[in-house]
Amino acid sequence: MFDMEVFMISQTLRDARKYEEAMERTIEKEQKPDFHLCTRVGWMNDPNGFSYYKGEYHLFYQYHPYDSHWGPMHWGHAVSADLLHWRYLPAALAPDREYDRDGCFSGSAVILPDGRHLLLYTGVSREAQPDGSMRDVQTQCIAIGDGVDYEKYAANPVLTKDDLPEGSSKFDFRDPKMWQKPDGSYQCVVGNCTEDGDGQVLLFGSPNGIDWKYEKILVANRGRYGRMWECPDFFLLDGKAVLLTSPMDMLPHEFEYHNGNGTLCLIGSYDEETDTFVEEHNQAVDYGIDFYATQTILAPDGRRIMVAWMQNWDTCNLHTPAQPWLGQMTLPRELSVKNGRLYQKPVRELEAMQGEEVRHEKVTFTDVIRLSGVEGRKVDMELTVRPADGSDMYHKFAVRFAQNDTYQTSVSFRPHESVVKVDRKFSGSRRAIIHQRRCLVNHKDGTIKLRIILDKFSVETFVNDGEHVLTATMYTDLEAEGISFFADGEVTMDVVKYELI
């Protein structure tokens, strides 16, 4: 087994561990989400190393403990038995070697046959280029540990520019996501782009998780979805192959893709003999405002579960330095593929957190109503909305939450346009940033199902059993906990609501 005597934890990592332990106490628990993993202190971005090890889920994350803004990347670490209640462990990685001195970027984890936990991550180091400029060069590196302490591999980095196919960028070569194949060997996908910045996903193989070899370009963007592709993931699900990635700098395309850094899901077929992926369908993964950098795990019970960073790169650096923390993950979501589409639903573990049920059936109304027992900021609520019997199609339905006299955030549906919209314009934001996002949905004659999960500072809306999902953060005063319903026209609605405890 792993022998902790044989290596020393660096001073850089020791400092981070000391700092996070001391500073964590200065942040009020009430000011953090309840069941979404958020940073221990400082800053969090991408989920990393999502794995099931020694009887618990491990979730690491891109971490800058010293500031609530992005900085030299460490790996934060937390564990959970149910994917909802997380316990922090000491920071796992710090930028403390020549090859990762400018950051330990995103990566993944597998369990080795001898029981050790192997992390494969991107090391970043700024190097002088032949033209005199300084650029970040990215390589893939290994750390092996026991679930708490990780030792960086002596022969790091294990993949460098020399392993790249012709014409690929050594500056954008990051975010390895590994898996073990049925024959015991390993593969990983890594985000990359061509020298002129067009995204591609590279496939590498390894007999032991340590020695890696380039195999092929698994998917190339060819100018379609944004530019550099970050955080790829690849897996088989329900008889299909699924490629998830986070393209930077996207242009909007109708209601499917929005401006900025977004998420992309390609669904297709896969020939395992030749590692050939043939694309059949494409879609955004999430249609809200704050969602990026997905990572999945194959849970011991066979579920494919995804988490993502619940933020948006274009807006996440606008908060004041005084804000003690920034960054949380989405709710872990169970994935499935039906009719060429990715479906998501909150992990079933959430049901164990449901308090007393509040149910209102066949509520017919126009204009605004409130319902008894329906309020709060930690809520799991399913709404089924349809036109009232005998009345014309309604124009608009909306549910407003995190609401008081000053604030509200809403999710609305316009059946004539088939559009669901999340709107946080009145959430307390004082910045000229994106406050709304829209999505085209399916419905039959104005009937729609919306499952809405609130956890203090976020709203995740699962439309029609997870056919579309919209995720957004809202940093609204916790006192605003009203929920109300609005209809332009006459609707009939069923509500099943639980407080989450």
Task: Point out the residues that are catalytic.
Answer: 46
Cα torsion angle, 237, 243, 245, 250, sign: negative
Cα–Cα separations (whole angstroms), residue 92 to 118, 382, 396, 456: 12, 38, 49, 28
Paired residues of 324 in beta bridges: none
Contact by Cβ (8 Å): 20, 65 = yes
Q: Shortest distance, CB of residue 63 to ligand FRU, whole angstroms?
A: 9
Q: Which is nearer to ligand FRU, 118 or 483 (CB)?
A: 118
Contact by Cβ (8 Å): 191, 175 = yes
Question: Is residue 295 close enough to count as binding ligand FRU by CB under 6 A?
Answer: no
Burial status of residue 87 (CB atoms within 10 A of its CB: 0-12, 13-18, 19 or more): exposed
Question: Is residue 39 close enough to count as binding ligand FRU by CB under 6 A?
Answer: no
Q: Shortest distance, CB of residue 492 to ligand FRU, whole angstroms?
A: 43
Q: Shortest distance, CB of residue 285 to ligand FRU, whole angstroms?
A: 14
Out of 178, 202, 266, 293, the only residue in the binding site for ligand FRU (CB under 6 A) is 293
Kindly provide the b/e burial profile for residues 96-108, where b requires at least 16 CB atoms within 10 angstroms of the residue's own CB: bbebbbbbbbbbb
Question: Is residue 329 close enough to count as binding ligand FRU by CB under 6 A?
Answer: no
Give, as ranges, the residues between 229 and 268 that touch ligand FRU (CB under 6 A). Answer: 230-231
Taking residue 133's Cβ as centre, other Cβ atoms within 10 Å add up to: 8
End-to-end CA distance of the chain: 39
State how far the Cα of 28 lies from the Cα of 9, in Å rounded to an integer: 30
Out of 39, 51, 62, 312, the only residue in the binding site for ligand FRU (CB under 6 A) is 62
Q: Shortest distance, CB of residue 279 to ligand FRU, whole angstroms?
A: 22
Q: Which is nearer to ligand FRU, 13 or 441 (CB)?
A: 13
Question: Is residue 105 close enough to count as binding ligand FRU by CB under 6 A?
Answer: yes
Q: Shortest distance, CB of residue 43 to ligand FRU, whole angstroms?
A: 9
Q: Which is nearer to ligand FRU, 126 or 359 (CB)?
A: 126
Contact by Cβ (8 Å): 459, 401 = yes
* Residue number of the CB atom closest to ligand FRU: 105
Nearest alpha-carbon partner for 438 in 396, 382, 475: 396
Question: Is residue 20 close enough to count as binding ligand FRU by CB under 6 A?
Answer: no
Contact by Cβ (8 Å): 495, 371 = yes
Count of residues in contact with ligand FRU, rule CB under 6 A? 13
Annotate 359-423 with DSSP letters as a single string.
EEEEEEEEEEE--TT-B-SEEEEEEEEEEPTTSPPPSEEEEEEEESSS--EEEEEETTTTEEEEE
Give, as ranges, the residues between 347 and 366 that touch ligand FRU (CB under 6 A). Answer: none
Out of 39, 68, 106, 427, the only residue in the binding site for ligand FRU (CB under 6 A) is 106
Out of 33, 38, 46, 472, the only residue in the binding site for ligand FRU (CB under 6 A) is 46
Q: Which is nearer to ligand FRU, 76 or 376 (CB)?
A: 76
The DSSP 8-state label assigned to residue 38 in this structure reads B
Out of 58, 174, 177, 421, the only residue in the binding site for ligand FRU (CB under 6 A) is 174
State how far the Cα of 187 lies from the Cα of 272, in Å rounded to an integer: 12
Q: Which is nearer to ligand FRU, 308 or 472 (CB)?
A: 308
Q: Which is nearer to ligand FRU, 106 or 403 (CB)?
A: 106
Q: Shortest distance, CB of residue 128 to ligand FRU, whole angstroms?
A: 22
Out of 96, 175, 290, 380, the only residue in the binding site for ligand FRU (CB under 6 A) is 175
Q: Which is nearer to ligand FRU, 99 or 292 (CB)?
A: 292
Tracing tokens 């032991």 back to the chain, one arrives at: 208
State how far the Cα of 6 lies from the Cα of 375, in Å rounded to an integer: 55
**Beta-carbon-side half-sphere exposure of residue 129 (alpha carbons within 13 Å):** 9
Question: Is residue 73 close enough to count as binding ligand FRU by CB under 6 A?
Answer: yes
Q: Shortest distance, CB of residue 97 to ligand FRU, whole angstroms?
A: 17
Q: How far is CA 180 from the centre of its chain?
A: 22
Out of 51, 68, 108, 122, the only residue in the binding site for ligand FRU (CB under 6 A) is 122
Token duo for residue 187: 């593969």
Q: Which is nearer to ligand FRU, 178 or 491 (CB)?
A: 178
Question: Which residues here bind ligand FRU, judged by CB under 6 A?
Answer: 45-46, 62, 73, 105-106, 122, 174-175, 230-231, 292-293
